[in-house]
Each structure stands twice: as structure tokens, then as C-alpha cells.
Amino acid sequence: MWLQRELRLKARPRGFHLITDEVRERLPELAAIETGMLNVFIKHTSASLTINENADPTVRADFESYFSRAVPEDEPYYQHTLEGSDDLPAHLKASILGASVTIPITGGELNLGTWQGIYLCEHRNHGGARTVVITMQGEAGR
Amino acid sequence: MWLQRELRLKARPRGFHLITDEVRERLPELAAIETGMLNVFIKHTSASLTINENADPTVRADFESYFSRAVPEDEPYYQHTLEGSDDLPAHLKASILGASVTIPITGGELNLGTWQGIYLCEHRNHGGARTVVITMQGEAGR
Amino acid sequence: MWLQRELRLKARPRGFHLITDEVRERLPELAAIETGMLNVFIKHTSASLTINENADPTVRADFESYFSRAVPEDEPYYQHTLEGSDDLPAHLKASILGASVTIPITGGELNLGTWQGIYLCEHRNHGGARTVVITMQGEAGR
């Protein structure tokens, strides 16, 4: 059984944002899968997806602080500067964090740990709405 | 053909640890898959999985040295500090390295390169036992 | 439907190289898949794969500049130094960027964003030819 769907995620400010509930709500068919996998893929090169702590919002704030220091803007050696100071660092962060997450499905649910959630990582100052492709496959329960 | 199994990995010290043999031993069904994929997913936000050199242990020691410098503890701008100095850096490392690895299966074996192994990356000082979900799918040989 | 194939990628200089067309050309069967997933896995520990901007070559040049600063050579604390100054940093970059990419297939095409391409990330000065395993699965159109 395969299911694929594109999701439009509304524009969010630069930073890290939990989208687990939004993904789940758009996937009612999940309940029918006994064993499977979910892949969420972002169709952009200046935003990314990762899995991390779903509770304390200071984790997401610290992610933004850390990554914006680890991948600084306006380095004198950057050549790709025409699209703004935040553009090349956004591409770098996108590759460090990755364009997709893959999550096991077990008994009709995403088999995440208690504290795990899916983050949309918005690396641009004004990134706009973002599109993700959700691909689910698996076998139905008996 | 789908197979899914949770594996409890014993507590290990902070650092990088080869778990390829442990994963293989818990997957005798691998031998029956002619073409497929294996996904290993860690259900935690302060430990991660990656694929790297399976031979010289100094690679794993240098990984710990590098990542603990690249993601330092006790930065004055961190807000998420209540769970200890190693906690927020552990979350950051977990997202840089990733929560899962996906490996092709060919002819009943993991189709890894000669020098590749699966690392459990333990980012906490006392992380305890860790749980991974192994999902395998593929088609049987003829 | 499963399809798996090993691809030998010719030796490239250290840096980041677009290989999307090369992957597509070697996968004529893609056209028959209505809904599916493609996984590209690199069988090496000092080269990696990522998805990023497919247009302006300065992005790829800046990636090389950034990662070679973020993961410097000849750090005094490195122990794994026998295979050359570029070896341990190559392993570190390989794990930061990752050994595989997973891309949705929709209507017989890779469902990439307009600006997305697959990068081969060559982290060694003389890495030689590289082998990737391509695994495709999905269901045919009706």
C-alpha cells in the first residue's frame, strides 16, 4: 500500500518549528497501516527537516541561536551573495540538517520516541510557504 | 515482505560505538531478502545514528573530540540548561548526525562498503539504554 | 516493484558535484513508477551525498569553502592521521552530510523542487571513482 500527498506548510519565521501534528492530521490513512515507513521530503534548498525534542520551546530557540553562529552570514569568502546575507547560510544549514526524515509506522501510529517531534527548519528570513511531499507505505493490519 | 523489530541497546559511555554486528545478529531474516532496504531509527533526541569507518577505533575517538568542540557545552546564550551541560549539545549533535540510517539490502546482506559500519552516537554522559526500531522490507530471492 | 543498481561515478576533484542527470540517465525504469521512493547510497566513508541548489555553481564552491573551514585539517587533537591530513576531516564531513538521500517518485519523475539537485560530496583530495547503490521501489501507473 502506497500513499503520497503534497502538503503546503504556511510561512513561518526563521527558526525551528514543530510540525508533527500538522503531518499527522493530514494522514488519516496512517491508522490502517500495521507496519510501514513514512518519509517527509521538503522541496526546498533553504529550509530543512529534522527530528528533535517536542516539549520545551527553548530547545528550538537554542537551535536557531546555535546554527546561526555555526553557519555565519557575510563571511568574506562566500561567493554566492546576490540573494541576500541569509541565503548561502540557509543552503548550508539545509544540507547539514537534511531534506527528509524517515519514520517507522507501527500499529497505525508514527513510532516516535516520547520526546520526538518533526521540526520544519526555516533558514530564510522570509522563506514563505513551504511544500513537503509525504510518502507512506506499509502493510495493513490483519 | 515487511519486518519490524525494536532493539534495546545496552547503555554505553558518551562517544561513538559500532553496532553493525548487533543489528545483523538480530535480523536473521535478512538472508531471505534478495533486494530491499533496511532502516534503523533511534527513538531518542540526545543520541543518533550514522555510518562511518568500521576499522580503526581512533576514528570514533576523533568523532567524539571533534563534535564536542564543534558543539560546545555551557555557551552563555543557551536557554535550555536545566537538564545539565551535556543536554542541549546532545540535542544539537543528534540533529546534525540524524535519527536514522537507511541501507540497501542485496543478496541477503547489508550492501555496505568494505569500510562502512553503523555507529550509535551517544551524546549524553549517562544516556542509559537506547531503543532503535529496525524496519526491513524487500523481495525474496527466486 | 523493486529495482536496484550499482553505479560507478568517475573520479572527481575534492568538492561538491551535481550528479542528478547521471542518476536519472541510469534509471530509465523510473518512467514506469507512478508512486514510489528512490534511495541513493554511497558505499564510502570519505564522500557523501546531499541535496541542494542545482543552478549557480558558486553555491557548490562555497560549500567546499565552508565545510573545509568548519572541519579543519591537522587539528592537534586528531589521532587518526596516518592516511593523510584530508582523511579524518573527510570522515567527519561524510557523517555531517550523510551517506544517502531519499527522494519521492511521482508520475514517473523524481519529485524534486525546481532548484534541487543531488550532490556528490567528494571530501578527499584524490578520492578516485565512487560507487553508489540506487534502490527504487514503487507501484506502476494504472
Residues in chain B with CB shorter than 8 Å from the CB of A38 are none
Give me the mean pLDDT over the C33-46 stretch.
98
CB-based contact (8 Å) between C66 and chain A? yes
Amino acid at residue number A29: E
Hey, what's the cell of C83? Answer: 592516511
Q: Could you tell me the pLDDT band of residue B141, with boundaries at 50, 70 and 90?
A: confident
B56–chain C nearest CA distance, Å? 8
CATH of A2-74+81-140, one of 3.40.50.1580, 3.30.9.30, 2.60.120.460, 3.90.850.10: 2.60.120.460
ipTM of the complex: 0.97
Task: Give the tens place of pLDDT for each residue, A26-75.
Answer: 999 999 999 999 999 999 999 999 999 999 999 999 999 999 999 999 99
With CA atoms as reference, report the closest residue to C55 among C1, C112, C108, C4: C112
Residue-level length of chain A:
142
What is the separation of C-alpha A132 from the centre of its chain, rounded to a whole number of angstroms?
8
List all residues 6 or more positions away from A49 whose beta carbon is below 8 Å from its beta carbon: A40, A41, A42, A97, A98, A99, A100, A101, A118, A119, A120, A121, A132
Distances in Å between the Cα of B38 and the Cα atoms of A6, A33, C19 are 25, 18, 24
With CA atoms as reference, report the closest residue to A107 among C105, B7, B133: B133
Boundaries of every domain in chain A: 2-74+81-140
CATH class in words for C2-140 = mainly beta
Residues in chain C with CB shorter than 8 Å from the CB of A70 are 70
Arithmetic mean of pLDDT over chain A:
97
DSSP character for B10?
P
Residues in chain B with CB shorter than 8 Å from the CB of A58 are 79-80
Q: At what angle do helices B87-97 and C87-97 cross, to 10 degrees?
A: 90
How, if at all, do strands B109-110 and B130-140 pair? unpaired
| CB within 8 Å: C39 and B35 | no
The predicted structure's pLDDT at residue A74:
98
Integer Cα distance of A121 and C53 in angstroms: 17
Q: Could you tell me the pLDDT band of residue A141, with boundaries at 50, 70 and 90?
A: confident
Q: Which of C93, C95, C137 to mutate to test the interface with B (most CBs of B within 10 A)?
A: C95
The predicted structure's pLDDT at residue C142:
62
Query: DSSP letters along C1-43, please?
Result: -EEEEEEEEPP--SEEEE-HHHHHHT-GGGGGEEEEEEEEEE-
Integer Cα distance of C124 and C93 in angstroms: 10
Arithmetic mean of pLDDT over chain C:
97
Cβ contacts from B onto C, under 8 A: 84
Amino acid at residue number A129: A
